[in-house]
Amino acid sequence: MPKHFIYILESANGKYYTGYTTDLERRMKQHAHGTGSKFVRAFGFKALLYHEAHRTKSKALKREAEIKKWSRKKKICLITSHPKAQLQK
């Protein structure tokens, strides 16, 4: 079972953040309580918009790096084209 996740979340001010974790539920709780990344501590947490599971850390980190380079428009296309990968806001 995959244990490496990449995710896109929306901050309170509407910015997107792409991250990596081995425990998605724990990481979202950290973000929600302000103990996650510096970005989310600075801009707040609104919703998890998208996530992917990967079998290896290497593949997950490569995918995270790829998505971080994308424009906002391309990230929106990814989020909206995979509704099953999204979690509820």
> Mind listing the pLDDT tens digit for each residue in 4-32?
999 999 999 999 999 999 999 999 999 99
pLDDT reported for residue 85: 53
Contact between residue 54 and residue 60 where contact means Cβ atoms under 8 Å apart: yes
Model confidence at 88, pLDDT cuts 50, 70, 90, reads: very low
Instruction: Look at phi and psi of residue 37 and say left if phi exceeds 0, alpha if psi is from -120 to 50, else beta.
Output: beta
**Which CATH fold topology does 4-85 show?**
GIY-YIG endonuclease (3.40.1440)
Helix (H) or strand (E) run with residue 28 in it: helix 24-32
The tens digit of pLDDT for each residue in 26-65 reads: 999 999 998 888 998 899 999 999 999 999 999 999 999 9
Q: What is the mean pLDDT of residues 63-78?
A: 97
- Domain boundary assignment for the chain: 4-85
